[in-house]
Amino acid sequence: MEPSHTVVITGAGSGLGESLARKYSAQGSHICLLGRKKDRLQRTANQLFDSFSIYEVDVSKKQDVERVVQEIVAARGSIDLWINNAGTGSFDLAENLSEEDVHIMIDSNLKGTIFCTQEVLKPMKKSNQGCIVNIISTAGKVGKVNESVYCASKFGVRGFTESLHLELKDTPLQVLGVYMGGMRTEFWDGIFSEERTQGLMDPDDIADIIIENVKPRKRLVVSEVVILNS
Q: Which residue has the higher pLDDT, 78 or 187?
A: 78
Catalytic one of 24, 55, 150, 179: 150
Asked if residue 3 has pLDDT above 60, the reply is no
pTM summary value = 0.92
pLDDT number for residue 2: 43
pLDDT number for residue 153: 98
E strand map for the chain: 6-10, 30-35, 52-56, 81-84, 131-135, 174-180, 224-227
- 36 Cα distance to chain centroid: 14
Asked if residues 113 and 134 have their Cβ atoms less than 8 Å apart, the reply is yes
CA-based end-to-end distance of the chain: 30
Phi-psi region of 31 (alpha: psi -120 to 50; beta: other; left: phi over 0): beta
Which CATH code is given to the segment(s) 6-227?
Answer: 3.40.50.720
Please give the share of the chain, as a percent, with pLDDT higher than 90. Answer: 83
pLDDT number for residue 1: 41
Catalytic: 150?
yes
